Amino acid sequence: MVEAFTKVSEASRLLLDKGLCAATGAESLGMVARTLKVDRACIFENRTTNLAGRFITDLRHAWAEPGVVSPHAHPMLRSLALRDYALSWMDMLEAGMVVSCATREAPPMMRELLERQGVQSVLLCPIIPAKQWWGYVAFEDCHQARVWRPEEVSLLKSLARAIGASVRHASMRSSLSQVRTNLTSVLRTASGDT
């Protein structure tokens, strides 16, 4: 377990140093997932569509063990209406709680979706960069109906916090960049350099 905590620390450092993007998302997921012998790991981001404000979660980043089908190969994960598949899971994640479940015990529509992907058990943890629920990170076991140990839950929570910190830092950098752009524009206007 010490190695797993070390990998979470390395993943956290990578996400804070380089930000959350396709490469760092997959790499950080893989670092932690490999040490826990997890088959797949994913990061989903929440959004509301323009169609009547429908709530969707989008698969943003994923990692899969060699020989396991990537989550990116499943188009339904690109715009998943989590409310339709597992309302209770959505409520738990939004409340900041972890979801730990064998596929056979999942809500019916979610169970069918997971079975089609060959997933035997899942562990989901919310990503909350500030006060609002941003998305969630998932570990998936495709070989056994795993009972997730408390230390595995703790590791996933740590990874979710690192992802949240990376998202928060990116937002702050974007805000600072916008302020800098606005100030530069104001200074140019004030000095007559328009």
pLDDT of residue 13 exceeding 70: yes
Structure-derived torsion over alpha carbons of residues 90, 96, 101, 105, reported in degrees to the nearest 10 = -40
pLDDT of residue 107 exceeding 80: yes
Strand partners, 55: 48
Highest mean pLDDT among 97-101, 169-173, 188-192: 97-101
Kindly list the distances between the CA atom of residue 35 and the CA atoms of 1, 28, 47, 83, 165, in Å, as whole numbers in the listed order: 8, 12, 31, 31, 22
CB count, 10 Å around CB of 147?
A: 9
Longest Cα–Cα distance of the chain, Å, equals 69
Rounded to two decimals, what is the model's pTM? 0.83
What would the pLDDT profile of 14-33 be if each residue is shown by its tens digit? Answer: 988 898 888 899 999 999 99
Look up the CATH architecture of domain 2-191.
2-Layer Sandwich (3.30)
Q: Where are the domains of the chain?
A: 2-191
Give the residue ranges of DSSP H helices in the chain: 2-18, 22-35, 82-85, 87-94, 108-116, 150-191
The set of residues, in sequence order, having a beta carbon less than 8 Å from that of 126 and lying 6+ positions away, is 93, 94, 96, 97, 98, 133, 135, 136, 160
The per-residue pLDDT of the chain, averaged, comes to 88
Work out the percent of the chain whose per-residue pLDDT is above 70.
Answer: 88
